[in-house]
Every structure is written in structure tokens, then in C-alpha cells.
Amino acid sequence: MLVAGNWKMNTDIKAAVELASAVVEAVGDSGKVGVAVCPPYISLSSVNDVLSGSKSKIKLGAQTMHHQEKGAFTGEVSASMLVSVGCSYVILGHSERRQYFGETDQGVNNKIFMALSCGLTPIVCVGETLSEREGGNEQSVVESQVQEALQDVEIEKASQLVVAYEPVWAIGTGLTATPEQAQEMHAFIRTLLVEQYDNIGNKIHILYGGSMKPANALELMQNKDVDGGLIGGASLKAPDFAAIVEAAKSV
């Protein structure tokens, strides 16, 4: 199980440090559940100080990165920069990056290679919009995203991947996929991963990223192919985030 908090564009440095400290205290011993928090760029170093200065096993992650090692890319951050500040994870291809910043599956693919080469674990996001689901195209959309994003990623690297299924229609809308809908899509993604990576595909974490909250976390994670959550709004409240981690521990 893995529970990762995506803080998005929230918290200044002071608030990020306070939230990280509260998360460390609230989560306590996460047991066998992997836990990560992904604050904004400006707070990565300060949050890393909080995490590394505690006995917590909580890891640091970033919300995106550039696919090049370095260069004239004003405003961008490279994988090696993220490693240097203490990151273990990086979220790639989040639906909001796709929607607002034009990220493509090919771009995500390029970023995956760079992340893996620097020792970062990519959390690769895929998922369909409401219109795509209503049109009956949810599986074809997700299949294309998975296959294009993971194109040419060798089996030797596959165990370092994490996939997050985001039903885009359930992010920030108050809607949530039913446990049955979540399992159906996670199982479909699992099939794609096994087709590409044989038995290693069974070991790749597939997170649910569509408005997971304390109230629905356990029911969602009890599904066979739901291996944790990529948490948005609930990750900004330490007690809620800790409750989700606790749910993961009980599965």
C-alpha cells in the first residue's frame, strides 16, 4: 500500500512546515504502508527538513518536473534537482497538468525516463473525463494513456513505477467513483501492466486518485487492485490524511 498526498498549489513555506509536522505526528508509525507528501516546489527543502528530522518513514515527493536534465527552461525544475532536495517520488501527468498546461502522454513518457534515470519513483497519472466515460470510452482512453506513457520503459525498471488512476470527473467535484467502478478500472489497468511486464505488473502499485477521503478510503482500498491513494484535498488536513493511512494499514 502507498498513500501519497498531493498538496497542489496550497501552503506557503510556513504553512507547509506546520502541515508536515502535523502529518508526521498524526500518522506516527505507518507500518508497512508507504507514505509520501508532495508540497509545492518552494517548500520541498523545508518539508524535507521536517521529515528527515523525525523518526517518520514519510517520503518527499514533487508535483511535476521537466524531462531534460538541465538547460534554458525558465521556471522548470529537473529530476536531479528534486533528488538533491530529498525527493523520492514525483507525480507525472496529473489531470490538472494535462488540462491546464497541455501535457501529453509523450511528454509524460519522456519525464518517466528521466525520473527513473535519477532514482525517482514516478507516480504516473491516467484517467478519463466525464464525457469520455459517458461516451463509453473510458477504457480506450486509459489504455492509450498507459501504453503511450509507458512505451519502451523496460521491464527491469517496471518495479519502480507507480500508476494512479484519476477519474477526472471525480476530482474536486464532490463525485467519487463507486468501489465497483474503481476496482473495474484498476483491474483493467492491472491487465495492461501484466501484458507489458508479465508478473511484475502484479506488483506495481495502482493508486486511486479521485477524491479519496476518510469516509470512503477503506471501502475503496479493500478492492483487490486498489493499492492505496493519491490524495488531494484530504491531504491538507493532517487528521484526515492520517485516517486514510490508518485505513490502508487495516487492509
Residues involved in catalysis: 94, 166
- For cell 507516480, the residue is 123
CA distance 10 to 40: 7
CA distance 213 to 218: 9
Q: Decide if 23 contacts 238 (C-beta within 8 A).
A: yes
- Stretch (H or E) spanning 162: strand 162-165
Cα-based distances in Å from 249 to 4, 111, 164, 200, 232: 14, 31, 19, 23, 19
Among residues 79, 81, 127, the alpha carbon closest in space to that of 103 is found at: 127
